Structure 1
Amino acid sequence: MIRHVAAFLAASVCLFGFGIPEASRLIAAKRVPEARVVLERYLADHPRNVDALVQLGSCDELMQDWPAAVDAFGKAVALSPRRADVQFAYGKSCLRVARDRKSLTLLHRGREALQEAIRLNPRLVGPHEVLVAFYSSAPWFVGGSMEKARAEADALARIDPDRGLVARVLLCEKQGDTVQAYSLCHDARTLRPGDYTAAYELGRIVAKTGLHLDEGAQALESCLRLSRGRPHADVAGIHLYLGLIRKAQGRLDEARASFREGLALSPGDTRLTRALAALESK
């Protein structure tokens, strides 16, 4: 009887101490290699656990071992082909390895997996974003197409206006159409005056083009207010672009103050360091 209890407790430790919850805890603590070991041990006894395979692939991504990620996500897709998140993870990793290895086979697999993810869950934003990047950068003979990229960006905008705006603006920049990029940002801010992303993108485009400087400065000043409480706000970028606009306006002291304020918040930001050095060299 005692032996049976001991065996049960040992199995419980393996499941809960060395399974998915423990791996999640290690990943959150940025101990990814340890998490991967935990998952490999768990999968040795539970090879058909799709969630564990997905988490293993995510560890491989974080460790930038993309071929291993393709392997883990591929096994997950084979077991659960109707999970959109699994198709997305597999497609994204396939495209990454295809780029490094120049593999047409992996490229086609990746694109098909992303398209399948969208068919399974049309509101999943990740596949649209990856396909925008793929279509806008791939040569035409492997499926690249700015028309397809714009269609994906438009679909993304219908699901998530902010991320769609970023995608559409980046496509305009890639084609050198800064006038259209500004117009998209201006229209978005008119429709959503209290929107952080619309204000940020407008300020960024103005800083890069030197057009509509007053409007850009106002957008970035509002962006500073809107960034409060947003953990992923690019506050350093806001100060950078505001400083560049002030510099273009000839308000050099304000530009310097903006760069320095940004560096006080993000001391290692090379964008701000270079911008301040360029200003001081004048």
Structure 2
Amino acid sequence: MKHFWFLVFIAQVSFAQTTFEKGLKYLEQKKYAYAKSTFEWLIKENPKNIDAIDKLGEACFLMQEWDVAVKCGKKLVTADPQNAEYWFKYGGALGMKAKSVNKLKALGMIGDIREAFETSARLDSKHINVRWALVLFYMELPAIVGGSETKAQKYANELMQLSKVDGCLAKGYIDVYNGEYEKAEFYYKKAYEIGHSKTTYEKLYELYLNKMKNKEKAQKLKNDFY
């Protein structure tokens, strides 16, 4: 009899694993609604399935269903408060929800967003994405409610230590935000020279064409890249 229940248990675990893999496949195929349904079913079967909660949050984030993504993020950081990636995802979901609600409600969310991102950065000194998020957060946030170029520069400097390309792009972003296009050109050119990627090209090209209004430099860059 014991062997029978053991086999039933193994079958259930195997089925759950297969279903989870199916959900991952839906995510890869950008069939987010199918992925959402799959992970919801897994969570219904096991409310503590942290992997399913994580992926449900991802699917809902990609579907712009911010409320569900925030709830998933909250569950993740509650289950594993030492996981930097979970705090990053929670902060990202909160940030996107804040952009979708009225200004008064968004103001009330600033503290939670800041806490989530800074906790992630503290837990993982090499987490590039969360440092990018903090650069954007502190630059876009008005000074009266906590925005700070000094703090944005701090995280841009940390990015520079982790990845020269990301650091230069972050520095360039801050300069563009401030309308200091020549300074931005210095950093974007440096990022392009190091990375020579589509992203670094597009940032520099956009700067030349749309900000500096220099079609000659834009065309020269285009010829070089292609």
**TM-score, structure 2 length as denominator?**
0.85
Find the aligned partners of 1:31 and 1:212 in 2 and give their Cα distance: 40
What does residue 81 of structure 1 align with? 81
C-alpha deviations, 1:153-199, integer Å up to 9, x for none? 22222212222222222221111111211222344556x3x633555
On the 8 A contact 2:166/2:191 being kept in 1, the answer is no
Find the aligned partners of 1:7 and 1:189 in 2 and give their Cα distance: 57
Structure 1 residue 132, shift from structure 2 partner = 1.3
| Aligned-residue RMSD, C-alpha | 2.5
On the 8 A contact 1:58/1:69 being kept in 2, the answer is yes
User: Which of the numbers 222, 235, 239 marks the counterpart of 2:224?
Assistant: 222
Find the aligned partners of 2:14 and 2:215 in 1 and give their Cα distance: 63
What does residue 171 of structure 2 align with? 168
What does residue 206 of structure 1 align with? 208
On the 8 A contact 1:157/1:165 being kept in 2, the answer is yes
What does residue 27 of structure 2 align with? 27
On the 8 A contact 1:165/1:184 being kept in 2, the answer is yes
Find the aligned partners of 1:110 and 1:94 in 2 and give their Cα distance: 6
Find the aligned partners of 1:48 and 1:129 in 2 and give their Cα distance: 31
Q: Secondary structure at the match of 2:54?
A: helix
* Contiguous gaps of at least 5 residues in structure 1: 225-282
On the 8 A contact 1:154/1:164 being kept in 2, the answer is yes
Structure 1 residue 211, shift from structure 2 partner = 4.5
On the 8 A contact 1:200/1:220 being kept in 2, the answer is no
Structure 1 residue 119, shift from structure 2 partner = 0.8
Find the aligned partners of 1:201 and 1:35 in 2 and give their Cα distance: 33
Find the aligned partners of 1:163 and 1:64 in 2 and give their Cα distance: 26
Q: Which residue identity does 1:161 align to in structure 2?
A: K
C-alpha deviations, 1:193-245, integer Å up to 9, x for none? x633555443332223145935x544332222xxxxxxxxxxxxxxxxxxxxx
Find the aligned partners of 1:199 and 1:99 in 2 and give their Cα distance: 28
What does residue 64 of structure 1 align with? 64
On the 8 A contact 1:95/1:111 being kept in 2, the answer is no
Between the two proteins, the alignment pairs up a number of residues equal to 220
* Contiguous gaps of at least 5 residues in structure 2: none
In structure 2, the CA distance between the partners of 1:198 and 1:26, relative to structure 1 (3 Å rule), is: closer
What does residue 279 of structure 1 align with? none
Find the aligned partners of 1:86 and 1:73 in 2 and give their Cα distance: 7
In structure 2, the CA distance between the partners of 1:37 and 1:187, relative to structure 1 (3 Å rule), is: closer
Runs of 4+ in 1 over 4 A off after TM superposition: 1-6, 187-190, 197-200
Find the aligned partners of 1:25 and 1:186 in 2 and give their Cα distance: 38
Structure 1 residue 37, shift from structure 2 partner = 1.3
Find the aligned partners of 1:167 and 1:12 in 2 and give their Cα distance: 45
On the 8 A contact 1:50/1:80 being kept in 2, the answer is no
What does residue 17 of structure 1 align with? 18
User: Which of the numbers 140, 143, 147 marks the counterpart of 2:143?
Assistant: 140
Find the aligned partners of 2:47 and 2:12 in 1 and give their Cα distance: 16
What does residue 100 of structure 2 align with? 100
Q: Which residue identity does 2:125 align to in structure 1?
A: P
What does residue 55 of structure 2 align with? 55
Q: Which residue identity does 1:31 align to in structure 2?
A: K
RCO higher in structure (CA 8 A, sep ≥6): 2
Q: Which residue identity does 1:136 align to in structure 2?
A: M
Asked if residue 125 in structure 1 is aligned to residue 128 in structure 2, the reply is yes
